[in-house]
Amino acid sequence: MQDFRVIADELAAAVAGGRLRPGDRLPPQRRFAREHGIAGSTAARVYGELIRRGLAVGEIGRGTFIRAAPPSTEPLLSEPATARIDLELNFPMLPDQPELLAKSLAGLLRTDALGAALRPVGAEGTPAAREAAAALLRTREWALEPRNILCAGSGRQALAAAIAALVPAGRRLGVEELTYPVVKSIASRLGVELVPLPVDESGVLPSAVRTAGIDAIYVQPTLHNPLGITMSAARRSELADLLQRLDLVAIEDHVNGFLAADAVPPLAAAAPNHTVFVDSLSKRIAPGLTLGFVVAPAHLTARLGAALRSGAWSAGGFALDAAVRWIGDGTADTIQDRKRADARARQHLAGERLRGFGVQADVRSYHCWWSLPEPWRADTFVAAAARHGIAVSPAAAFAVTPGRAPNAVRLALASPPFDQLARALETLAQIARGLPEDAGVE
């Protein structure tokens, strides 16, 4: 029997060589199996492998299309391509941001300072980095202790360390039923089972947490990705009480939270002994600065530090020293404030261009959730957008349960220049007003 991966490699080569183009529809699996002389189950594995690699989108039995993203073994983790309009990944970067950042680095480039910055650093980072992180993250209601902060190479690595430290292989992690795709990938690699937890307009339902039989939970209480909802203060208080009663630990992902300066205090403020708080500088400051921070209860810092070290997920000294300078001289605050204004402007643009459609968003965030009109399905809409050189994310990328994704797409608004974003949104609106057969993706 032919190895399905060999066939998948052949199709990947066809994509790389341009013989299969974004938006092209693959034949139904039964026909594909007949044409290749393979079993139907093997054809299903081939299509599943293409989806896993990020080369195709769709649901088995409904249609599979070549996606807009370039070949990758990590869906939704690749860098944005320059030949497309990227509404799939959020990389907020202000036009004059390099100039702002460069001013703070002059001192770091002195021989003595650079020599110190290039030395290895452990999971604890440096005292200066912990103090700077505490100053950046603390709120009036949450006075976190610098000694409880650990430093990771990125927010993704911080999440991986937290999951590895809290959930043994073969055990269960509760997550919102639509969740950050990277967490799905991390859990798969660590052998952790994800348990989908229902949400409403106030966030994850505590009743579901109570009965899920899980070892920990992962939540995005502020500007949830992809739904954009922010957990209410009452729901946070209810969830915090539940965590304490169950002696359960929550991993709180706050990477988008900086955009909501007026949001309610983090879950970690309500349940400091039962929350591992994760944040990153990739969106706050720059995509290339992937420095991550983990704020852990004192009784968990050793376990989390061990996970960071064993995974080689500790931060680099140069990134830490650069962050200390940017935070200390106010550059980080300046960039954050301007990004908050930029996000609101982009949301306003999206509201104008997509008026009348079922778009759900928080005006403070860099993404929106679009429930598509009939007769569009997420897979065909993604394919139609790809034919116009626009990459968007289907709901299936965020769904924990396969085959249970809503008929929706997420639009990431941060990456394209403003005028390009305006044109892309107008194009998507025109596509949605038409029919799939008009777009050639019936």
Closest CA to 276 of 161, 132, 398, 125: 161
Say how far apart CA 80 and CA 103 lie, in whole Å. Answer: 27
pLDDT confidence bin for 75, thresholds 50/70/90: very low
Mean pLDDT of 105-109: 73
pLDDT in tens, 380-399: 999 999 989 999 999 999 99
Q: Rounded to 10 degrees, what is the CA torsion of 359, 76, 413, 381?
A: -40
Measure CA 67 to chain center: 18
3-state secondary structure of 195: strand
Distance from first CA to last CA of the chain, Å, rounded? 33
Comparing 96-110, 340-354, 355-369, the range with the smallest average pLDDT is: 96-110
Quick check: 76 pLDDT over 50? no
Quick check: 369 pLDDT over 60? yes
Mean pLDDT of 415-429: 96
Share of the chain above pLDDT 90, in %: 64
Hey, what are 48's tokens?
């599943």
pLDDT in tens, 306-334: 999 999 999 888 889 889 989 999 999 99
Say how far apart CA 205 and CA 2 lie, in whole Å. Answer: 46
Stronger pLDDT, 36 or 327, i.e. the higher one:
327
Quick check: 82 pLDDT over 60? no
pLDDT confidence bin for 116, thresholds 50/70/90: low
pLDDT confidence bin for 201, thresholds 50/70/90: very high
Hey, what are 121's tokens?
């650093």
Q: Rounded to 10 degrees, what is the CA torsion of 345, 351, 352, 353?
A: 110
- Tokens 């065909």 correspond to 380
Helix %, strand %, coil % for the chain, to 5?
45, 15, 40
Comparing 22-31, 90-99, 108-117, 431-440, the range with the smallest average pLDDT is: 108-117
Contacts of 289 (CB under 8 A, 6+ apart): 281, 282, 319, 322, 323
pLDDT confidence bin for 258, thresholds 50/70/90: very high
Contacts of 261 (CB under 8 A, 6+ apart): 336, 340
Which pLDDT value is given to residue 440?
A: 61
pLDDT in tens, 272-299: 999 999 999 999 998 888 899 999 999 9
- Greatest CA span in the chain, whole angstroms? 67
Q: Rounded to 10 degrees, what is the CA torsion of 353, 335, 202, 205?
A: 120
Stronger pLDDT, 191 or 120, i.e. the higher one:
191
